[in-house]
Amino acid sequence: MAYIDNVTITRLGGFEGSDPELVGAYPAVIGDKAELINKALPEGAVPGTFRSDKIAGMHILSYTFKVKAERESLRDDLASISIIVSDKKVHIDQMEALFKEIARSLDESGDLYQMRPTMFVQMMERIYNGVNKSEKIKIDDVVIDIPQIIKMNKLNIFKKDLKEFQGAF
């Protein structure tokens, strides 16, 4: 059973001739590509901010961050990492709290800022698996201990199944 359906990374570019683009999605693109870019990296997005929106009836949570310029003469880029959740049994605010912890840890470690295209796929895959299997995420030197975060913050990601309640009466 999956908590999250997808991890997506988009970026603005900011060099001559660039436009907002989809860097990658794991395991697959969800919804219309243009809409996905639009929702993941919305108008007015600035580094260090979170957004939540809906896409194709699902929740999309996004965090916008800075990426180091590839060359000295270029400016830093603006990018965003998003997760998409369709499961109605997921408490979206609880998932948001978890996602914020993950994004913050990665940003504070400098991993998001230093990110190179070769690391994108790895990062999306590890986050996808880490969250869905509730296990530690290891990216470069950063370890994000998902079970620990859930425990420390008393997160209840899943809504209690109605049947469980019924059984109790």
Partner 1 sequence: MSLFSIFKRKTDAKAVFIGLDSAGKSTIIDFLREGRFINHTPTMGKRKLEIDIEGTRISMFDMGGQQSFRDLWFGEMKTAKCVVFVIDKAAPHRFPEAKAEFQKVLPAIQKEGLKLLILANKHDVPGAASMREIIQGFNLLDVENFEILEVSAKTGYGMATAFSKFYSLLTGKHIQKLNFAGAVSVYTNGGVPIITEMDQNRFERVALEGGFLAAITQFSQMKLPGEIATQFILFESKQNGTFIVARSAHFIGSLLWYKELGVTVDQSKIALGDLLGHLESSCATADENTVSFHVEHYVTNIM
Q: Name the site residues for partner 1 (rule: CB under 8 A).
A: 12-20, 41-47, 64, 66, 75-78
Name the minimum Å distance from CB 1 to partner 1. 35
Do residues 137 and 144 touch, judged by C-beta distance below 8 A? yes
Q: Which is nearer to partner 1, 41 or 123 (CB)?
A: 41
Q: Which is nearer to partner 1, 13 or 110 (CB)?
A: 13
Do residues 11 and 20 touch, judged by C-beta distance below 8 A? yes
Q: Which is nearer to partner 1, 61 or 85 (CB)?
A: 61
Q: Which is nearer to partner 1, 116 or 154 (CB)?
A: 116
Tell me which residue of 124, 158, 149, 105 sits closest to 5, measured CA to CA: 124
Name the minimum Å distance from CB 107 to partner 1. 14
Residues near 20 by beta carbon (within 8 Å), at least 6 away in sequence: 10, 11, 12, 13, 37, 38, 41
Name the minimum Å distance from CB 108 to partner 1. 18
Name the minimum Å distance from CB 54 to partner 1. 19
d(CA 65, CA 12): 11
